[in-house]
Amino acid sequence: MPLRAGLAALLLTAVASGCAPSDPEPGAHSAKKPLQAPPARALDSYAAKVRALTAARTAAARRWGLRRVPLAAPPPPRHKPRIRPRPGFEVDGQDERHLPPVFTTVPTKDKVVFLTIDDGAEKDPAFLRMMSDLRIPYTAFLSDYLIRNDYGYFRRMQAAGVTLDNHTLHHPNLRELSYEEQRDEICGMQRVLRREFGRSARLFRPPYGTYNGDTLRAAASCGIRYAPLWNEEVFVDHWDYREGDRGLHPGDIVLTHFRGRSEWNGTMPDVIRRFLDKVTAEGYAVARLEDYL
C-alpha cells in the first residue's frame, strides 16, 4: 500500500539519521545490520497518529477562524546558530565584555519566524485556549507591575510550555536611568521570576527597544545571555516593519503585546489570527525562539 510504504521509508530515514549511535564504542563490532522496515502494526499506529494530529490542527484552525492551517515547525536545529549583535546595534566593549547580543533575526535557513509577546497587561483566557489548541509556541517578556495582580495566569501559560522572560519591573526607558537603577530594574525582575515561576530568565528585552552600554552590562550581571528585539510588529489591524522591503525573512522575531479591547480595537485572538494568517500564507511556520539559542 502506498501509505504504508511511505511511512516505512519515513521511519527508516529517522532510524538512519539519529535514532541509533553514529559511532560504535571502542572495541565494538563495526558491522552494521541491514535496516528492516518496522512491523505493519507500528506503521498503522503511526499513520493513525498522523491522521489524528492533522485532523486536530484542521479543526482548531477552523474553530479559531484561520484562513489556513498553520504550518508545523521543523525539528529544533541540532547545532544552534551563533548569535551576533545586529550591525549598528552593538555597544562599546561588546565583544571584550561578552555582553548579551542585541538582535532582531536569528541566522537560519529554516523558513520559520518567532512570536514574542510583551508586557502582560491583558490576561485573556481565550488567548491561552487558542494557543494551546493550535500548538503555537511563543515567548513572553513580562513586566512585574503589569502581571502582579494575576501571577496565576502566567503560571498557566508556563505550564503549557511557554518561557517567561525579563522585561523589567516597571517598564522604564532604561537610557534615562543610571547603571544602578537599570540593574535594579533588571535584577529585580529576575527575582520576581524566580520567586513566582521557579526560574530566572536568560532572555531580556529592554522596554521600547531602547538601551545603552549600561543596560547590557547590567543585564549581563543579572544572568542575561541574550537581548532579542524584533524585526516586525503585529497589531490587531496592521503590521509594522523594520526593513524597507516590508516582508518576512527566515528567522525573524515578531513582536506583539498583551493588549485587549481597552487599548486596541480587538482581542488577543484577533491579533494572533492576523499574525498566523500572514505567516502561513507566506509559507512560514512559527518556531520556539529558545530552540535556536
Given a contact cutoff of 8 angstroms between Cβ atoms, the answer to whether 185 and 210 are in contact is no
Residue 211 in 3-state DSSP? Answer: coil
d(CA 282, CA 8): 31
Instruction: Dump pLDDT digits (tens) for 224-262.
Output: 999 999 999 999 999 999 999 999 999 999 999 999 999
* Domain covering 77-292: architecture: Alpha-Beta Barrel (3.20)
**Separate counts of helices (H) and strands (E) for the chain:** 8, 9
Between 161 and 11, where is the model more confident? Answer: 161
H or E element: which one contains 129? helix 125-134
Instruction: Dump pLDDT digits (tens) for 25-78.
Output: 334 444 455 555 566 777 777 778 778 888 988 999 999 999 999 999 999 999
pTM: 0.84
Match 525573524 to its residue by C-alpha cell: 252
